[in-house]
Amino acid sequence: MLDLGFVKKDFTSLIGNVHPWMLSHFVMWLDIKVAEYKVYGHMVLDDTANDTPQWLRGNKSSDVTSIEKSHENEESMSHSDGSSGRPIQSFVEDSPSPSKQTRLSTSSSLNQTHDQGSFPQSHQTPQRQISPYSHTHQSLPTLVKHSPMYRKEKPTASEPHSENKMLSCDDESRLAHYRTKQFMDMIEERDFTQGLRNTKVSQIQLQERWSHEIEKSVNKSGVIKDRSLSSQSSFDPVQASKQDLPSETLSRSTIVLNEPTEHIKELQKRLSYAGSQEVPGKNPGNISSESTIQEIIKIELSSDEESQTGNSESHQGEIISLDTGQTETNLDGCMGFDPNDHLLQETNLKELADVNIPVPVTLYSNDIRLTNQINAGSGMEEEASWKSKKWEYFEKLRKSRGSSYMGARVHSQSLQTVLPFPDPFPLENLPYGARAKEMINTGIVSRPGKMQFLDTIFNEVVKYTGLYPTPQQKVEVAKAIVTTFPKLDQKTNPGQASSLDSWGTVLSDKYRNERRLLNHGQFYRKPINYVSPWKKRQKISQRHTYTLARHSEETPEIQEFQEEAQNLNLELPDDELSNAISEQLHTLVSRTMGDNSVMDIDIKTEPVIMIEPGGQ
């Protein structure tokens, strides 16, 4: 039995030497295999070339074999007559034109009319500067904002999925990943009414192919006969929130096995098991057709934990996480996942929300306590505990990528990739507080009611969106609000154009404020020198007056000193008065009064501070 190190090494070597075109096909084939493994606990392995699905092997000019032959011919031509044939390597390096790069994309694989001459010459020097997923060639925020997943509200059907932007991802397997992702994006995002302009197969045909191939593989294994049963039970997003989602959502989950949606793709990126022996609670074989997405994710997270313990070596019976770094996010914009920042980690918000604790709205906790008779201990303590957990989680999330909370962005995107956003979003049965219920029933939007209402919705929606919902998701939630609660179909602010705009703005502000708190960590750990806005205002109303005992006359110097001293006081928190102000007042006195003899200044924090130079 090979250990993980050898497997990884061999796999890396294999991937590094495979032809990019072959690699894209291999990854798609691997997609199916990993999906089978995730769902059924084992792969339907095939060790013969003929088991490669016909559509993956392609035909005519897209047939990999013919490509290889063609490529070999080109190579031989290049070798035999270096002057007559254009060196492909130079083509790649010198002419990274969009059209030619596009040919390397998987979209062109469906086109089946690609130019074989567009491949790099050498298998040993894989093309690195192609743009398999050009949207990722941006800074991360840009990635989040402008990636196809993020901007689904602005589908660009006519836009080729391979642009001329250069992506410097130096990992070939990552390259293949993005190529596959691009392929899936193409399938999922193209307008069905428009079809695939640049391909000869329709989206429906593509999806049917996915469905057929997976079903064929499954039937071949004799595991699953009823696709609908297996799919619904395997990836049921209903489990994500313990709520009954609309039938439309169920239908979406049904598609999971019909096409390798983001669920499988993302899970497969992160999860890999070694060994076949059982591990209590972590046995891959436990992933059955009855497994829920949470169970799968739990196992996935277990693998993360294993990997974090440093036990990267293979141990029989243990779950091993491949540490290939394929999915790490880097500044090149190659999106990926960090085991530390997965939203569904042990302190995940979903678990928190699953706990039957009413929505924590601190200001109106009386209402909460009334509705929480089951756990009647200390309502405030429970609330504080709940919120503390929530913010502990957020803090983890914030720190998941160093000092910035960029991790939250990646989090949001990865979460949005894993969990399908319900459409429409179910808002009926959320645990609203009493005032929120009152607002819902009466249609009278009060501040306390709105706060409870928003907090409840935020706590639910964040499970699907993370802290950075897409604009479309906000709109969907706003729509859900006005449709679910007709009495709330009103503008919360007269300045808004419509109720949708109004709720959308409110949601945006809510998210922004939550992120702000996350960024500042103000809930349970205020900075030592934190000065609340109220204190600042109080300071303004209680300006200190600085006087110098030795200079009682109203000279311009004295006035200048007092003004600057007051400004100085306003800029500093109270607990810094004794040191910082003392030091700066020394400087100030020296500068404004021209008196360098003042060494002992008695600083008092009363509104009027007497400064007695020289200890007089």
Among 70, 312, 519, 582, binds DNA (CB under 7 A): 519
Nearer to DNA, 134 or 217 (CB): 134
Among 398, 510, 544, 586, binds DNA (CB under 7 A): 510
Q: Which stretch binds DNA (CB under 7 A): 48-56, 201-209, 227-235, 518-526?
A: 518-526
Cα–Cα distances (Å) from 588 to 561, 581, 614, in that order, read: 7, 10, 15
Nearer to DNA, 159 or 244 (CB): 159
Largest separation between any pair of C-alpha atoms in the chain: 101
Q: Which stretch binds DNA (CB under 7 A): 175-183, 286-294, 334-342, 522-530?
A: 522-530
SS3 594: coil
Instruction: Assess 534 for contact with DNA (CB under 7 A).
Output: yes
Tokens, residue 521: 């960590």
- Secondary structure of 349-403 as H, E, C letters: HHHHHHCCCCCCCHHHHHHHHHCCCCCCCCHHHHHHHHHHHHHHHHHHHHHCECC
In angstroms, what is the C-alpha Rg of the chain?
Answer: 31
Beta partners for residue 608, in sequence order? 545
Q: Which stretch binds DNA (CB under 7 A): 4-12, 86-94, 301-309, 500-508?
A: 500-508
Nearer to DNA, 235 or 364 (CB): 364
User: Which helix (DSSP H) or strand (DSSP E) does residue 608 occupy?
Assistant: strand 608-611
Instruction: Assess 512 for contact with DNA (CB under 7 A).
Output: yes
What's the half-sphere exposure (Cβ side, CA atoms, 13 Å) at 575? 5
CA distance 575 to 584: 15
Instruction: Assess 604 for contact with DNA (CB under 7 A).
Output: no
Site for DNA in 359-378 (CB under 7 A): 361-366
Tokens, residue 321: 């996480």
Nearer to DNA, 233 or 508 (CB): 508
Residue 430 · residue 457 · CB < 8 Å: yes
376-401 burial, b at 16+ Cβ within 10 Å, e below that, comes to eeebeebbbebbebbbebbbbbbebb
Nearer to DNA, 380 or 603 (CB): 380
Tell me whether strands 608-611 and 545-548 are parallel, antiparallel or unpaired.
parallel
**Distance of closest approach, residue 471 Cβ to DNA, in angstroms:** 3
Instruction: Assess 498 for contact with DNA (CB under 7 A).
Output: no
Within a 10 A sphere around the Cβ of 516, how many other Cβ atoms? 10
**Distance of closest approach, residue 586 Cβ to DNA, in angstroms:** 27
Within a 10 A sphere around the Cβ of 59, how many other Cβ atoms? 11
Instruction: Assess 517 for contact with DNA (CB under 7 A).
Output: yes
Nearer to DNA, 202 or 522 (CB): 522
**Distance of closest approach, residue 380 Cβ to DNA, in angstroms:** 6
Instruction: Assess 522 for contact with DNA (CB under 7 A).
Output: yes
423 to 452: interface string for DNA, x by CB under 7 A = ------------------------xx-xx-
Q: Which amino acid is at 224?
A: I
378 to 417: interface string for DNA, x by CB under 7 A = --x-------------------------------------
Nearer to DNA, 138 or 372 (CB): 138
Interface positions with DNA (CB under 7 A) = 138-139, 141-142, 145-146, 361-366, 380, 447-448, 450-451, 454-455, 468, 471, 492-493, 495, 505-506, 508-510, 512-513, 515-517, 519-520, 522-523, 526, 532-538
